Amino acid sequence: MSNDSNPVQFELMPGGHLNGQLRVAGDKSISHRAIMLSAIAEGESNITGFLEGEDTLATLAAFRTMGVNISDPKDGKVTVQGVGMHGLQAPDTALDLGNSGTSMRLLSGLLAGQDFAVTLTGDKSLSTRPMRRVTDPLALMGATIDSTEKGTPPLCIQTGSQLNSIAYTLPMASAQVKSCVLLAGLYAKGETCVTEPAPTRDHTERMLQGFGYQVQREGSRVCLQGGGRLSGMDIDVPADISSATFFMVGAAIASGSDVSLEHVGINPTRTGVIEILRLMGADISLHNEREVGGEPVADIQVRASQLRGIQIPEAQVPLAIDEFPAIFIAAACAEGETVLTGAEELRVKESDRIAVMADGLTVLGIDCQVTDDGIIIQGGQLQGGTVNSHGDHRIAMSFAMAALRAKAPIKILDCANVATSFPDFVTLAKTAGLGIQIS
Ligand code: S3P
């Protein structure tokens, strides 16, 4: 599963533009949740549009190891034979979740209430990521979970006793922590509530309701009663707005571009990138807006335009949390200064996305200043050079798009993890007009 020892580099020719109608990879967040909830539902669930990326395949493999019958994904179609809330079986090995923070944080909640012990492990990057944010609330619910002294994986979840419900206020805006507590709450006695400091993606709440499980939302508080059941259903996973973002930014910055991204999820808790790019002057239009299985979807058209630097509104930060590496590339191509604040969470993603992006932008000749909770980027002329993605998929894909406006070739190191979220990225990017090769 791990890509720790698998060097892949991207080589980019400078210039060009993007055109065409593209369907990017399936939504990663929704694909994870589709497997998890189908597995503990009663009856069969049929998933279409499933992301066949390494992260979501890690979740799928984990449930197979716990005895769930799941078909081999083919063209985004997967069938899950749900085992019911109490039908998971003790795995005979640790569950290796690769690079996937979502798998580890959501599974820790879902598994805390099972009557078996289980260990969750991951690759080099996941093994450095903070897990106290999930083990702390789960301990309050009565779970016993061991981690390293630093609060990092592996997580050893002890055989659960009956969990207690809690009313928990999230210390940070995190959909993974919210989802972890809600999934544990399914197995707790009484009502579990989570209050969030700012809106975060709500796919867990929406999908639970789709599976027939009641979830109440009042303002920033979400509550559910433990002890209910889920009924299998059909799930149509939209294309991932986080994957669409690379093409949105590429089209916005490269003169002559006009791309249409089809069937993209535009859940309002995910559309910060559209707001931010529009504030920067991007030409983005939504077509054919519709709702598919409880999630809003649209075709997104982006045409090139001159961007300008902005102060990014802090309220948009959690709504665009995965899109900042690409937004930084847009800022580098904008006229004037872009200022990001309130984004300290970027430091604990698959890499420290503020530091790693700043290093790469500097190599490419862009003036930027790192701050505690963000970055200040001066728009300028991108040069060529070699940048290191540090195994972070979103950083690799963002710098690939930077080549559209660079003066000379760009080489990007450590790109294997692009396969975690967007296995067809290179093929699709080439089709759209990006001069990209793998070496
Ligand atoms: C995710 C939530 C976000 C996001 C991650 C996916 C999810 O993480 O960065 O890629 O599916 O719930 P945080 O909850 O840590 O913000």
pLDDT in tens, 265-313: 999 999 999 999 999 999 999 999 999 989 999 999 999 999 999 999 9
Ligand 1 centroid from CA 384, angstroms: 32
Q: How confident is the model over 101-107, as a mean pLDDT?
A: 98
C-alpha dihedral sign at 140, 219, 314, 204: positive
- What is the spatial distance between Cα 129 and Cα 431, in angstroms, rounded to a whole number? 35
Band (pLDDT 50/70/90 cuts) for residue 161 is confident
Hey, what's the torsion of the CAs at 138, 140, 145, 151, to 10 degrees? 90
Residue 5, pLDDT score: 59
Band (pLDDT 50/70/90 cuts) for residue 1 is very low
State the DSSP string of 174-221: -HHHHHHHHHHHTTEESEEEEE-SS----HHHHHHHHTT---EEETTE
265-180-220 Cα angle (round to 5)? 65
Edge-to-edge strand ranges of the sheet holding 78-83: 69-70, 78-83, 42-48, 234-236
Q: Which residues pair with 79 in a beta bridge?
A: 46
Pairing of strands 145-146, 155-157: antiparallel
- What is the spatial distance between Cα 14 and Cα 427, in angstroms, rounded to a whole number? 17
What residues line ligand 1, using a CB cutoff of 6 Å?
A: 29, 102, 174-176, 179, 201, 321-322, 345
Say yes or no to pLDDT of 159 above 90.
Answer: no
Distance of CA 87 to the CA centre of its chain: 28
Helix, strand, or coil (residue 104): helix
Best mutation site among 29, 180, 348, 393 for ligand 1, i.e. most ligand atoms within 8 A of its Cβ? Answer: 29
Say yes or no to pLDDT of 3 above 70.
Answer: no
pLDDT in tens, 193-236: 999 999 999 999 999 999 999 999 999 999 999 999 999 999 99
Q: How many CB atoms lie within 10 A of CB 199?
A: 15
pTM over 0.95: yes
Question: Which of ligand 1's atoms lies nearest the C-alpha of 176?
Answer: 14
Instruction: Of 111, 118, 117, give the one whose Cα is nearest residue 95.
Output: 118
Q: Which residues pair with 335 in a beta bridge?
A: 308
Instruction: Of 346, 330, 208, 269, give the one whose Cα is nearest residue 27.
Output: 269
Give the chain's length: 439
Ligand 1 centroid from CA 50, angstroms: 18
Ligand 1 centroid from CA 102, angstroms: 6
Q: How confident is the model over 316-320, as a mean pLDDT?
A: 98
The one catalytic residue among 322, 352, 359, 414: 322
- What is the spatial distance between Cα 118 and Cα 98, in angstroms, rounded to a whole number? 16
Say yes or no to pLDDT of 35 above 80.
Answer: yes
Does residue 96 carry a catalytic annotation? Answer: no
Say yes or no to pLDDT of 2 above 50.
Answer: no
Average pLDDT of the chain, as a whole number: 97
Question: Which of ligand 1's atoms lies nearest the C-alpha of 348?
Answer: 15
Q: Which residues pair with 83 in a beta bridge?
A: 42
Per the listing, tokens 């390494």 go with 54
